Structure 1
Amino acid sequence: MSGKIPKYFINDLLFRTNIIDVINTRIKLKKIGKNYQTNCPFHNDKTPSFTVSYEKQFYYCFGCNTHGNVIDFLINYENLNFLESIEELSLIHGLSIPFEKNVTSKKNDYFIKQKLYLLTDQISKLYQKNLILNSAAYEYLTRRGVSKNMMKFFCIGFASFTWDLFSKQFNIKKELEIELLNNKIISINKKKKIYDPFQGRIIFPIHDKYGKTIGFGGRTIQKTLPKYINSTETNIFYKGKQIYGLYQVKKKELQPKYLLVVEGYIDVIMLTQNKIDYVVSSLGTSITKEHIKILFRNTDTVIYCYDGDEAGRNAAWRNLKITLPYISDKKTVKFVILPENEDPDSIIKKEGAKNFQLRIKYALTMSKFFFKNILKGIDLSSNDDKFYLSVRALPLINSIPSDTIRIYLRQILARIIGILDDYQFEKFLHQQKQNNKIVQYKSKPTLMRTLIGLLIQNPNLSNLVTSTKKLKNSKTKGIPIFLEILKTCLKNPNFNTGQLLEFYRNSKIINILKTLSTLDHMIVEEKIKHVFLDLLKSIYKKDLEKRQEYLIAKERIHGLTINEKKEIWSINKTIKK
């Protein structure tokens, strides 16, 4: 570990945390015997190979070999760094991180984040109060059809036309003003005058998954350009990683069947107002890989619904190309194509919620949308165009990790182009399957590997070791690692596998420990203790045999001292037992 956060705090955090609860809120687990299983979220898993152990507080995938404790899961699944995963667990338990006294950049980052959370929340509440007091802003939203309930549900506010007006109206103290300036929430212009970057704009607060305000979107009510702006990026706000409206969706449904992705804040609000409770937006920015990962963590079906103009259609096609590498047998995308010059807000006002839901129901599947776009401008009577089509389509199809979907799309492409018959195509698939076989390396199950693996997987076995005196002088490879882990287990009798691995996270031996923690020893639980003790005895016996061989060889050449003769007699007696 880095030493920035005390070990005792991380151990306590892991002790308080049930890995089953944390994973189960993100992917649905099913209890099988004493463990829990599901399809692995880290590879295209057709059968459940992702196993989570309550006893060990540890997860392991038999398909792709990913494994670790709850911290590792958050790092890999949520794409967090180590500190962010500790923050995540701390938030769950309502704890503050007790950084060590030496000031570090990570410690500073943590406190900057806490300060930003506080400041964005404070100014968000002031913006909301200001909306009620400002008739022009309130009338604008009312004219757009936004109800009072939606204004409250999405915490909509308004930033006054000048900071002076806003500051006086709410009696903002100088200390708060300085904090807002220091954290770049408000700014100073060339004339040394304080201003709010959002002044004269409707404010749409952006929330993280816990409902904390992390940034803002602003829509002008005048003719100021640009029409929409977002907060600058901070320690808590990254545009490429935020989904507007997701917090509100999950307040109603923890794991929604769909997520409908639209372009604007008002689109999200108006569709939600019309009982379409699964609408989100990517803050007006292009979809990123991070956005897609977040969307698919929260649903199996993402539906893109953009404006019916050329820009909207181009955005939908661009999004599909970015999404293809994340599509699987269970994760898919669909597309709602709106009429020319219509957007979700305008169309639902014209057609009503029922007709809009029909559009969602009959949304274009990924394959139909793919070929609808890839075939644009293609003359199928031209061999040159067919060649161009295959060159353009195949790299996109091959980026899909699912064998089933990839083969299905290739078959459609083959029929369209007319260059492959069934036999040729099956031959090609067979070749592809052979090329994609993964050869997995399996470690040789030596005595020490098994012994250390059993101890990592069952730290309470350390209680069976009454003395290490016989092992300290052993020349057996791996003994120093075993003794090191044994010492840690004895000092921390309540450690589980997850806590033990966390203790050694940044040590030189962590990769060895992780590998051994996943070994399947094929030993029934009732016999684990017996096997562990037998292994210890076998290692001790091997050491004695090596010493015996040495003494015998020495006796033949040089002879033995009285003490050495006594030693070989004792060894012979012990080995014969």
Structure 2
Amino acid sequence: MSVKIPRYFINDLLFRTNIIDLINTRIKLKKNGKNYQTNCPFHNDKTPSFTVSYEKQFYYCFGCKKHGNAIDFLINYENLTFIESIEELASIHGITIPFQDNTIYEKNNYLKKQKLYSLIDQISKLYQKNIQLNNNAYKYLINRGINKNMIKFFQIGFSSFTWENFSEKLNIKKELEKELLNYKIISTNKNQKKYDPFQGRIIFPIHDINGKTIGFGGRSIRNIFPKYINSSETNIFYKSKQIYGLYQLKKKFFKPEYILVVEGYIDVIMLIQNKINYVVSSLGTSITKEHIKILFRHTDTIIYCYDGDDAGKTASWRALKITLPYISDKKTIKFIILPENEDPDTIIKKEGAKKFQLRIKNSIKMSEFFFKNILNGVDLSSNNDKFYLSIRALPLINLIPSEIIRIYLRQILGRIIGILDDNQFEKFLYEKEQKNKNIQYKQNKRTLMQKLIGLLIQNPNLSNLVVSKKNLENSKIKGISIFLNILKICKTHPNINTGQLLEFYRGSKIINILKTLSIWDHMIIEEKIENMFLDLLKNIHKKNLEIRQKYLISKERIHGLTIYEKQEIWSINKKLKK
């Protein structure tokens, strides 16, 4: 990866960022000694294996081995690119990224994003003011049962504006207008007149997880087709990644016990108005794997509650199939099947909050929903149908990462079609235990140079113990050049930490080796790390002498030695005897 942002800026950004604070806004950390711990967000973690070090500005999971600095965390947790993670950190600290001169595209793209954020926020505020001025739009919301508090909380607006009205109020220049046309934020009619695509619609602002307005959903209050439209995708708004209501949910609840996924904006608003919390929508589009990853970062249970028509039932089955690869021993899904032709908005008005809470409590478990649907139309008295059932069910079951859940579902399937394998679970547990032992054994075997580099990466301050590099620079030991390069960085940046140090090697050929060494459990108590490091340096020097000694002895047998080489080998022998 070519560096497109100045190295000094990335270092400064990491220096400004406290990884504890960054992670703690997303996952609740608990102090444990000098480190912080929690259950790992990247795998099914029954006991807290996810450790974050303030001193190293580094996180590491002892279970799945995921690790890295603040940038890595945003890349893995928020599913961001490297550039996007830098933009996120820069936004948190309120600083501008100084893109290098040769990265015009990235610089322009970044500036365009900032313009879009600002413009869409201003447009949203105009929409919100307009809802109070337009009697028909306001009445529409009140007639739908949406109260004033919800209108304010979700920042609902209305567009009756012509584009000229917007352009005048926001002082938009012609150059920016062209960009807005490219993004389809505005449109042109047959007469080439510009207009707002949301004109005549109730506006539901869509926010990212940080609360920035990034797009809109629009609902027609007249007979304009289609009934609902969303903003076109831009470089800040991607429908497959955005979830309506998640920002509002996270404002009130850090870690909800479940998240209820519904189809529409008004479904979300009406349920929350009736004290049914933890509700979101996937913008009316089908659920995507990106949505599922995001939702499972914030809860352990997703409950799908789609409309009670055929389309809603089909959407529920599709949601299950897409979610299967993300289900684990800890992460699960459930389903609420509403009566025919009902949706969350209508049912909450008819039944009230208590009965809807009962529907949530009695929501259908994943395994029950899976077999209820997979058995639909299957004749279990027919061997052909049983064969068809296994052919259809097994590939879906095998999508689930958790071996325990796969075994459980296969056992249910086995009972249904009359096949059982009672020894499979015990065999799995034994194989997994042996596999873990083998992995641990391999990980503990380190070369002399790997140990030295590992200690330096984990403790950059050890560089102060290296007074002279004379004995190292001429060394033939494999890996010495890497050690010397790391040593140089540590000495150039006296207060560098592990997270910052690894950032120098992002995209290099050796980054994976260095990351592995950065999480190596060296089993050395803290008080003895310096002594161990010095001993390793001595051993490196000794090994260099042994290599030179071996070379001189070999030369003596074949060609003989000069007087100076004889003196050298005498000196080496003397040093090695000490």
TM-score normalised according to structure 2 size: 0.94
Moved more, 193-202 or 375-384: 375-384
| 2:461 matches 1:460 | yes
Match of 2:550 in 1: 549
Match of 1:361 in 2: 361
Instruction: Report the Cα offset of residue 317 of structure 1.
Output: 1.1
Match of 1:499 in 2: 500
Q: Equivalents in 1 of 2:447, 2:546: separation in Å?
A: 17
Letter in 2 for 1:514: K
Q: Alignment partner of 1:217: what SS?
A: strand
Confirm or deny: 8 A CA contact 1:252 1:277 kept in the other structure.
Answer: no
Letter in 1 for 2:256: P
Instruction: Report the Cα offset of residue 526 of structure 1.
Output: 1.0
Describe the shift of the 1:174–1:65 C-alpha distance in structure 2 as closer, same or farther (beyond 3 A).
closer
Describe the shift of the 1:556–1:325 C-alpha distance in structure 2 as closer, same or farther (beyond 3 A).
closer
Deviation by residue 1:169-190 (Cα, 9 ceiling, x = unmatched): x745352873644653112223
Describe the shift of the 1:382–1:68 C-alpha distance in structure 2 as closer, same or farther (beyond 3 A).
same
Confirm or deny: 8 A CA contact 2:452 2:537 kept in the other structure.
Answer: yes
Q: Equivalents in 1 of 2:422, 2:230: separation in Å?
A: 51
Letter in 1 for 2:337: I
Match of 1:17 in 2: 17
| 2:293 matches 1:293 | yes
Q: Equivalents in 2 of 1:258, 1:333: separation in Å?
A: 9
Deviating above 6 A after TM superposition, structure 1's stretches of 4 or more consecutive aligned residues are none
Instruction: Report the Cα offset of residue 527 of structure 1.
Output: 0.9
Q: Equivalents in 1 of 2:84, 2:172: separation in Å?
A: 32
Match of 2:126 in 1: 126
Instruction: Report the Cα offset of residue 443 of structure 1.
Output: 7.0
Instruction: Report the Cα offset of residue 281 of structure 1.
Output: 0.2
Q: Equivalents in 1 of 2:20, 2:269: separation in Å?
A: 34
Match of 1:426 in 2: 422
Q: Equivalents in 1 of 2:569, 2:542: separation in Å?
A: 13
Instruction: Report the Cα offset of residue 62 of structure 1.
Output: 2.9
Match of 2:478 in 1: 477
Instruction: Report the Cα offset of residue 212 of structure 1.
Output: 0.6
Letter in 2 for 1:4: K
Q: Equivalents in 2 of 1:269, 1:540: separation in Å?
A: 70
Letter in 1 for 2:484: L
Instruction: Report the Cα offset of residue 19 of structure 1.
Output: 1.8
Letter in 2 for 1:175: K
Match of 2:315 in 1: 315
Confirm or deny: 8 A CA contact 1:40 1:50 kept in the other structure.
Answer: yes
Confirm or deny: 8 A CA contact 1:4 1:107 kept in the other structure.
Answer: no
Q: Alignment partner of 1:97: what SS?
A: coil
Confirm or deny: 8 A CA contact 1:304 1:335 kept in the other structure.
Answer: yes
Q: Equivalents in 2 of 1:408, 1:535: separation in Å?
A: 50
Confirm or deny: 8 A CA contact 2:160 2:201 kept in the other structure.
Answer: yes
Q: Equivalents in 2 of 1:55, 1:161: separation in Å?
A: 54
Q: Equivalents in 2 of 1:531, 1:158: separation in Å?
A: 69
Match of 1:159 in 2: 159
Confirm or deny: 8 A CA contact 1:34 1:53 kept in the other structure.
Answer: yes
Instruction: Report the Cα offset of residue 101 of structure 1.
Output: 3.2
Q: Alignment partner of 1:272: what SS?
A: helix
Q: Alignment partner of 1:214: what SS?
A: strand
**Residue pairs, 1:72-471, within 5 angstroms:** 72-160=72-160, 162-164=162-164, 166-167=165-166, 171-175=169-173, 178=177, 180-181=180-181, 183-420=183-420, 425-430=421-426, 437=435, 440=439, 441-442=442-443, 444-471=445-472
Moved more, 448-457 or 388-397: 388-397
Q: Equivalents in 2 of 1:575, 1:541: separation in Å?
A: 7
Q: Equivalents in 2 of 1:172, 1:318: separation in Å?
A: 43
Letter in 1 for 2:364: L
Between the aligned residues of both structures, percent identity stands at 75
Q: Equivalents in 2 of 1:48, 1:167: separation in Å?
A: 52
Confirm or deny: 8 A CA contact 1:305 1:336 kept in the other structure.
Answer: yes
Q: Equivalents in 2 of 1:280, 1:553: separation in Å?
A: 75
Instruction: Report the Cα offset of residue 300 of structure 1.
Output: 1.1
Q: Alignment partner of 2:422: what SS?
A: helix
Unaligned runs of 5+ in 2: none
Q: Equivalents in 2 of 1:208, 1:151: separation in Å?
A: 19
Instruction: Report the Cα offset of residue 549 of structure 1.
Output: 2.8
Q: Equivalents in 2 of 1:209, 1:9: separation in Å?
A: 25
TM-score normalised according to structure 1 size: 0.94
Instruction: Report the Cα offset of residue 162 of structure 1.
Output: 4.1
Moved more, 425-434 or 258-267: 425-434
Instruction: Report the Cα offset of residue 546 of structure 1.
Output: 2.2
